Amino acid sequence: MYKIDRENLFLRLQKSRKRRTSSEYEIHDQIIIFAALNTSMKFSEEIKRRRTFGIISHPDAGKTTLTEKLLLFGGAIQEAGAVKSNKIKKGATSDFMEIERQRGISVATSVLAFEYKKNKINILDTPGHKDFAEDTFRTLTAVDSVIVVIDVAKGVEEQTEKLVEVCRMRNIPMIVFINKLDREGKDAFELLDEIEQKLNLTVTPLSFPIGMGYDFKGIYNIWEQNVNLFTGDPRKDIEETVEISNLESKELDDLIGEKAADTLRDELELVHGVYPDFDKEAYLAGNLQPVFFGSALNNFGVRELLDCFITIAPPPRPKDSDIRKVNPSEDNFTGFVFKIHANMDPKHRDRLAFIKIVSGKFERNKPYLHVRHNKKLKFSSPNAFFAERKEIVDVSYPGDIVGLHDTGNFKIGDTLTEGEELRYKGIPSFSPEHFRYINNADPMKSKQLEKGIDQLMDEGVAQLFTLELNGRKVIGTVGALQFEVIQYRLEHEYGAKCTYENLNVHKACWVEPKDPKSEEFKDFKRVKSKFLAIDKRGQLVFLADSAFSLQMAQQKYPDVKFHFTSEF
């Protein structure tokens, strides 16, 4: 039964009643109740038709290309960008920043949406490069399921292992897409074994390749029981698909040749004997991972993946807060900031905070409580993202990603509600691994530099530490490539130039004393004064110059805790 706000309904009945006969009262009340029920049913249906997922992989496995082809099938774009050997003929739709277009890699999570077969699909295309892993880890807090892309030639790579580990820890449902079947690569069974062993997954193929590389003829779709013939023409949106209800039929021999048909029959017999049958509940619990094969660049196998995905992938799921579990079907709106992006359009210097809606409806121009600031905010132009265009939306539902124009109110992890004081968990900042002093290369542009650093650090691309001893600014990143991105964006988006100096730091640790007034903590601050800094949130950080120095500090000051993430 759909939930109705009984108190609100009673007030509506009382307000709208006039002098009527008893029969008129009855008809009038039924109309009001039907309208309320209809609104509630619509809300429930909107939740059910949403699918919010992330695409993750090692760099160059074809993640961004797959995103483009999904948008192509959804009718969100007319022509996909070609991303080849780090040169972009036409910029990839999900790569917003100029540096992404130049280098041919994604360095920030992109948010894209489209409609497909009455479903609202929200895609979060994440960076694959390990230097931008922190952005990907945070993005995984905002998805309800994941598609893992694996290169048929390279198999499971290091970055894929780390990302899948995060998904497995959070029991996020995963579908595996083995890409680039039109190239020579590893045997299908060898790949499936590698996925099970390296990623610690339990897989079940829902499609299977017929040949590979030069011999690639197509895919047998186990999910739909049909053969998809490979034409090699990337301009085709839908390939030639032939229903095959009986694998022993001569029709299969005629389609792909007798030898290939016999090989396929043997391989499918092995698939059914070795791998478990697909179980939707096991998949939703994160215990079983369906596998699809295809070639995203050639538009091949993408439709099969998408059709199965909208059928089995979960609608918006409940999320834990610091006080309770919040369900999407709740009437009151709640959501959290998982990403901030400065200068999405450099001409307008706009800064957007990306909100994942967890429960209730987000409505334009309605005041919501910013829990950390304890103040109400209204948003006149909330954005939804449809491929390359942004659109102002009046109402958004659980699972949707909304971009809110931000003047500096938001930080990553902030919660918005209709009044309830709760905070969503699990969006930490990780201890950086690379550290450099940042210097102003153009004294005439010091204001621009300060503003640029302030906004880029809010995005979470890196962390800013100010040394207590002399006030010098230190930037810490998870990957060295981040320094290049920061330098490039400061110059091209803010008109400020910077230089770096190396700084010998082993690890940044957030410091939490048992008693801030104790003699032990005062001694720690005096002895380690030249290694202490303040982060952007005002928290004390110990920049240990070596593993030995950190170990000695931990032993000498037992009442001081050293944290490697900032959320404690």
- Residues with Cβ within 8 Å of residue 27, at least 6 apart in sequence: none
Query: For 207-244, how does the pLDDT look when each residue is reduced to its tens digit (9 = 90+)?
Result: 998 888 778 888 888 888 888 777 655 555 445 667 77
- Residues with Cβ within 8 Å of residue 136, at least 6 apart in sequence: 54, 56, 109, 126, 127, 128, 163
Whether the per-residue pLDDT at 134 is higher than 70: the answer is no
Answer left, alpha or beta for residue 317, where phi above 0 means left and psi between -120 and 50 means alpha. Answer: beta
Whether the per-residue pLDDT at 291 is higher than 50: the answer is yes
Whether the per-residue pLDDT at 3 is higher than 80: the answer is no
> Which of 382, 396, 476 minimizes the C-alpha distance to 436?
476
pLDDT for 66: 86
Long-range contacts of 275-279 (CB under 8 A, 24+ apart): 275/192, 275/203, 275/204, 275/205, 276/202, 276/204, 277/204, 278/204, 278/206, 278/223
Residue 432 and residue 523: Cα distance in Å, rounded?
26
Query: For 508-536, how does the pLDDT look when each residue is reduced to its tens digit (9 = 90+)?
Result: 999 999 898 899 999 999 999 999 999 98
- Residues 230/216, Cβ–Cβ less than 8 Å: yes
Angle between helices 6-16 and 22-48 (to 10 degrees): 140
Cα angle 401-414-125, degrees, rounded to a multiple of 5: 35
| H/E run at residue 527 | helix 519-527
pLDDT for 349: 55
Confidence of residue 2 (pLDDT cuts 50, 70, 90): very low
Query: For 257-267, how does the pLDDT look when each residue is reduced to its tens digit (9 = 90+)?
Result: 888 888 888 98
Between 6-10, 226-230, 296-300, the lowest mean confidence (pLDDT) is in 6-10
pLDDT for 494: 86
Whether the per-residue pLDDT at 178 is higher than 90: the answer is yes
Confidence of residue 164 (pLDDT cuts 50, 70, 90): confident
Structure-model confidence comparison of residues 96 and 133, the more confident one: 133
Query: For 431-478, how does the pLDDT look when each residue is reduced to its tens digit (9 = 90+)?
Result: 788 899 999 999 899 999 998 888 888 777 788 999 998 999 999 887
Query: For 15-65, how does the pLDDT look when each residue is reduced to its tens digit (9 = 90+)?
Result: 555 555 555 556 555 555 555 555 566 888 899 999 999 888 887 778 778
Residue 216: C-alpha distances to residues 61, 66, 70, 152, 181 (Å): 19, 19, 22, 13, 7
For 216, phi then psi, to 5°, come to -70, 120
pLDDT for 301: 85
Residue 363: C-alpha distances to residues 37, 118, 379 (Å): 20, 22, 9
pLDDT for 40: 61
Residue 152 and residue 189: Cα distance in Å, rounded?
11
The mean predicted confidence, pLDDT, of the chain is 80
pLDDT for 80: 44
Residue 78: C-alpha distances to residues 71, 102, 231, 235, 304 (Å): 9, 22, 20, 11, 20
Q: Where are the alpha helices (DSSP H) in 441-501?
A: 446-459, 481-494
Between 344-348, 413-417, 434-438, the lowest mean confidence (pLDDT) is in 344-348
- Residues 228/304, Cβ–Cβ less than 8 Å: yes
pLDDT for 169: 78
Cβ count near 457 (within 10 Å): 20
Highest average pLDDT, of 70-79, 289-298, 333-342, comes from 289-298
Whether the per-residue pLDDT at 280 is higher than 90: the answer is yes
Residue 309 and residue 175: Cα distance in Å, rounded?
8
pLDDT for 338: 85
Whether the per-residue pLDDT at 101 is higher than 60: the answer is no
Residue 154 and residue 435: Cα distance in Å, rounded?
32
Amino acid at 440: N
SS3 of the chain: helix, strand, coil, percent, to 5: 35, 30, 40
Residue 447 and residue 168: Cα distance in Å, rounded?
44
Would you call 399 helix, strand, or coil by DSSP? Answer: coil
Q: Where are the alpha helices (DSSP H) in 227-301?
A: 250-256, 258-274, 280-284
Structure tokens at 31: 């109309």
Residue 199 and residue 452: Cα distance in Å, rounded?
39
pLDDT for 109: 47
pLDDT for 131: 44
Task: Find where tokens 């803010």 sit.
Answer: 494
Beta strand 560-563 with 507-513: parallel, antiparallel or unpaired? antiparallel
> Which of 453, 456, 452 minimizes the C-alpha distance to 466?
453
pLDDT for 363: 92
pLDDT for 5: 53
- Of the chain, the percentage scoring pLDDT greater than 90 comes to 33
